[in-house]
Structure 1
């Protein structure tokens, strides 16, 4: 091409202008980010139960005084840490952990990752999901178990193995995973992962969402028996599952329950149904079952929390 061609110089001048504009745009973008201080936020809520922890099979691991309880408190905390650390590695900027087992005092605070917040003890209005709100992007359920309606599942129950025979929530037989998902869903937070035995994970996928990342740490043999992976293997599975779930966060949707929210609780002790029916807000459905209608999920969950704390086991 001839250097005397005026079109050549015009093309070169246009190219130079485009480069200058491009550089200015890059500079402005960087300046804007530094001025606003805005960084991507990923806030994760983790609810930790114990029956679904690798190796747990009976009360010897689950309650103070059990000869393996102190050991399994450490293993429960270690599974929580595997999830916490993986969440931060995946970009989490805030992690809150709920101790959701027994008396709410099973996780060991001194061994928990110090970057996480910890919610402990009972009673609390939102039970296993206390502290969750619209500020979170994802909820994860660690060490969960199946509901009483699942034959052969390890320690299968809903909220109280001693008090409740059945719990129905929003017209559906409810596991603790479903109650937790409904609570998170009220605040527009999706449950993205569940860990526990194979039957607990299968129930959560069926009742909440097939897209949930399921981490199976043991295969249920019966109510008090399981074929479990080692604690180390369980932690590796939880870490990988957490990262995988958070990497596909956009695929998940919150679990929603229609309002008003009807709760039905069937007791093992009929006297509980009789006494609760004294309240005008409670209907006695049959000898052992009561019904309550909450204006929304939190109100319905508060009713379950009250009843599970103060009903009689004998």
Structure 2
């Protein structure tokens, strides 16, 4: 069995503050350790379930958050910024299953801890073929386009609810329940990581519970930005058009173009409009 593990940070056990997500912020170094601990719980379960190979992608921000010196030595780690497929970098059709740990709810989700879609403040909404899409839907669709099902999603309760809405009865692990965007009732990390291990092990022993999200081509990505200047700049990319002064649209028959385009647009948006608090 070959397992792909994508690890984001906002849905990691014990974390609620934007400062804990940002290099140089108060609590960030401890946040990286907690992120690595949650990842290791899933990695250990994967190998205990019989995986021959586990590939882990650091899917948060700069992609330099997971502690390479503390990660389970049996896996391989994809890290660094500007990865072409971002949160899905390293995934290909040879994998049996994808696992998502540390994931969060989409922008605007009620009681979603640190809820956002792709960027903390620049993106208001994303729609994929007419359906509102957070990172769970976007990444599950990428896996599905490669023929790979999703076996587990771990994050806050709102993220788990979103995962079940997108993927039906997929195994989930809620490590915290949002009180507001920046506050949550937490399961202490040691117990949360034990839950991640147990649920991952259970999920990998039950392939009938894996769910592949299949979205028919062509794919239309609609992004509502918080700024007309971001939308205008992104519309200069060939194939991208303005749907209204703050919204861009792009249609393709290759889903990898959707992921790649979001990455390029996010880089542009960050340069144009990323000031102040990351999630402000």
User: Normalized against structure 2, the TM-score is what?
Assistant: 0.94
The aligned counterpart of 2:108 is 149
The aligned counterpart of 2:273 is 313
Indicate if the aligned counterparts of 1:126 and 1:183 stay in contact, CA closer than 8 A: no
The aligned counterpart of 2:188 is 230
Equivalent pairs, count = 272
Mark the runs of 5 or more structure 1 residues left unpaired by the alignment: 1-41
The aligned counterpart of 1:163 is 122
RMSD: 1.1
Secondary structure of 1:83's aligned partner: helix
Matching of residue 57 in structure 1 with residue 20 in structure 2: no
Q: Distance in 1 between matches of 2:238 and 2:204?
A: 45
Matching of residue 248 in structure 1 with residue 206 in structure 2: yes
Q: CA deviation at 1:280?
A: 4.7
Give 1:300's match in structure 2, choosing from 248, 258, 261: 258
Give 2:159's match in structure 1, choosing from 196, 200, 221: 200
Off by >6 Å, runs of 4+ in structure 1 = none
Q: Distance in 1 between matches of 2:240 and 2:11?
A: 33
Matching of residue 69 in structure 1 with residue 58 in structure 2: no
Give 2:92's match in structure 1, choosing from 133, 140, 162: 133
User: Normalized against structure 1, the TM-score is what?
Assistant: 0.84
Larger Rg: 1
1:1-314 matched pairs, under 5 angstroms:
42-207=1-166, 209-311=167-269, 312-314=272-274
Aligned in 2, Cα 1:129/1:84: closer, same or farther, shift over 3 Å? same
Q: Distance in 2 between matches of 1:277 and 1:246?
A: 42
Mark the runs of 5 or more structure 2 residues left unpaired by the alignment: 275-280
Indicate if the aligned counterparts of 1:50 and 1:101 stay in contact, CA closer than 8 A: yes
Secondary structure of 1:111's aligned partner: coil
Secondary structure of 1:245's aligned partner: helix
Secondary structure of 1:152's aligned partner: coil
Q: Distance in 1 between matches of 2:19 and 2:123?
A: 21
Higher relative contact order (CA 8 A, sep 6+): 2
Q: Distance in 2 between matches of 1:46 and 1:279?
A: 31
Q: CA deviation at 1:279?
A: 4.1
Q: CA deviation at 1:310?
A: 1.8
Q: CA deviation at 1:125?
A: 1.9
Q: Distance in 2 between matches of 1:250 and 1:65?
A: 43
Q: CA deviation at 1:254?
A: 1.5
Indicate if the aligned counterparts of 2:234 and 2:268 stay in contact, CA closer than 8 A: no
Secondary structure of 1:240's aligned partner: helix
Secondary structure of 2:273's aligned partner: coil
Aligned in 2, Cα 1:280/1:96: closer, same or farther, shift over 3 Å? closer
Deviation larger for 51-60 or 275-284: 275-284
Q: CA deviation at 1:139?
A: 0.5
Higher normalized helix content (fraction of residues): 1
Deviation larger for 168-177 or 135-144: 168-177
